[in-house]
Amino acid sequence: MLIYESYTRTSILPVVLYGCETWYLTLREGRRLRVFENRVLGRVFGPKKDEVIGGWRKLHNEDLSDLYSLPHIVRVVKSRKMKCAGHMARMGEGRGVHRVLVG
């Protein structure tokens, strides 16, 4: 399981979250990000052997959240936005970014 977490953390998340600090995240985009994350995790973890029906089935969202222990992608986006806002708030008053933030 650690291999999957490091794969998604190093290969998928940096590409998807590039520039997310500047996004205006609506409910629709948050839902689309969660759908994308579940699709990627479903492909990474693959199907699961179901003993009841005797065949293979796709993993449900609950199964994926149990297997994947990192925070959901929307939470990561919100965390990065707050981190960036804090960084801009600590900038000097003469900087243009600080003036845009407070003005």
Which positions ≥6 away from 40 have C-beta within 8 Å? 8, 12
The per-residue pLDDT for 98 is 74
Give 71-90 pLDDT, tens digit per residue: 888 999 999 999 988 888 88
Residue with tokens 């008053």: 93
Nearest to 21 by CA among 102, 103, 97, 95: 97
Question: Which element (helix H / strand E) includes 55?
Answer: strand 55-57
Confidence of residue 3 (pLDDT cuts 50, 70, 90): low
**Residue 93 banded pLDDT, cuts 50, 70, 90:** confident
> Tens digit of pLDDT for each residue in 20-70?
988 989 999 999 998 998 888 888 877 787 777 788 888 888 888 887 777
pTM of the model: 0.73
